[in-house]
Structure 1
Amino acid sequence: MASDNRASRLAPVVDMAEKTEKAAAQRLGHFQGQVNLANSKLGDLENFRGEYQAQWVDRGSQGVTGQWLRNYQYFLGQLETAVGQQRQSLVWHQNNLDKARETWQQAYARVEGLRKLVQRYADEARQLEDKREQKLMDELSQRLPRKDVY
């Protein structure tokens, strides 16, 4: 009975740990989405930069003006800056994801530990109840009159 009581007393603690784990899992999902988005943006910028650089080859074969070359170099510099900033953003989001994953893993481990403890208490309570019932059955069987068969 004491073990069963211990298991039931832990129920609110388990519920709270489960809520914390669920919130951590949602946060982990959010940060995974942010990493995916940042990675996609970086890919888009790098593709655009590649296409823009390909224009140099096409345009260069036809001849370019000094103004076109300055504009091209200026815009390419802007693209390089944007790519660098997006890489930094991706690293920042990845760090957030890593921290969120660690937090979720800790919360998950706590929930699992509490569930195992509650299960152990419930098993102990069941074993104690089984022993009590067996003892009662043994006492009852000893009280019944015996019929000896010869």
Structure 2
Amino acid sequence: MALSRAARLAPVVDMAEKAEKTAVQRLGYFQGQVKVAESKLADLNAFRLDYSQQWIVRGSTGVTGQWLLGFQGFLAQLDTAVDQQRQSLQWHQNNLDKARDAWQQAFARVEGLRKLVQRYRDEAQRAEDKREQKLLDELSQRLPRHEAF
């Protein structure tokens, strides 16, 4: 009876394992997306820093008003791009957090089901051991006893 309970749970365990595998894949995907977003943000920040350094170099030799307006305009565009990339990174991190939570739940479900199946198997084994012991006890009682003289 208990073994059949474990056997009946096998499809449920398989489904839970597949869901956990899918959750792992999603987690990996979002980890990759976060790394890409972090890299883009780092590149933008580095480019902005390099571009800002031009002000120091060009400013020491004198600049025209037109150059200064162009510089400030492009710097504002870079700032906007950096802000947008930060938002993108935050969005990807939120997705990663959700994917991590989903994976943890799927993993916990699989582990819980595996423990339940193992408990059912252990119960079935104990019942089988008890049945065998009872059978052996009955057989040993039926055997003729030889008394020593």
Q: Give, in whole Å, the separation in 2 of the partners of 1:38 and 1:32.
A: 10
Say whether residues 1:37 and 2:31 are aligned partners.
no
Aligned to 1:70: 69
Q: Give, in whole Å, the separation in 1 of the partners of 2:57 and 2:133.
A: 92
Aligned to 1:48: 47
Q: Give, in whole Å, the separation in 2 of the partners of 1:65 and 1:17.
A: 67
Q: Give, in whole Å, the separation in 2 of the partners of 1:27 and 1:114.
A: 22
SS of 2:134's equivalent in the other structure is helix
Q: Give, in whole Å, the separation in 2 of the partners of 1:19 and 1:75.
A: 49
Aligned to 2:83: 84
Aligned to 2:127: 128
Normalized against structure 2, the TM-score is what?
A: 0.98
SS of 2:148's equivalent in the other structure is coil
Aligned-pair RMSD on alpha carbons? Answer: 0.6
Q: For structure 1, which segment, 122-131 or 137-146, has the greater mean C-alpha deviation from structure 2 after superposition?
A: 137-146
Q: Could you give the per-residue CA deviations for residues 100-150 of structure 1, whole angstroms, max 9, x where no partner exists?
A: 111111111100000000000000000000000000111111111111113
Q: Give, in whole Å, the separation in 2 of the partners of 1:79 and 1:48.
A: 9
Post-superposition offset of 1:59? 0.8
Post-superposition offset of 1:28? 0.7
Q: Give, in whole Å, the separation in 2 of the partners of 1:38 and 1:121.
A: 47
- How many residues are aligned here? 149
Normalized against structure 1, the TM-score is what?
A: 0.98
Code of the aligned partner of 1:139: E
Q: Which runs of 5+ in 1 are unaligned?
A: none
Code of the aligned partner of 2:92: H
Identity of aligned residues (%): 72
Q: Give, in whole Å, the separation in 2 of the partners of 1:133 and 1:44.
A: 71
**Map of 1:19-30 to 2, 5 A cutoff?**
19-30=18-29
Where has structure 1 moved over 4 Å in runs of 4 or more? Answer: none
Code of the aligned partner of 1:75: F
Aligned to 2:59: 60
Aligned to 1:16: 15
Q: Give, in whole Å, the separation in 1 of the partners of 2:59 and 2:2.
A: 83
Say whether residues 1:118 and 2:122 are aligned partners.
no
Post-superposition offset of 1:48? 0.5
Q: Could you give the per-residue CA deviations for residues 68-103 of structure 1, whole angstroms, max 9, x where no partner exists?
A: 111111110110000000000011111111111111
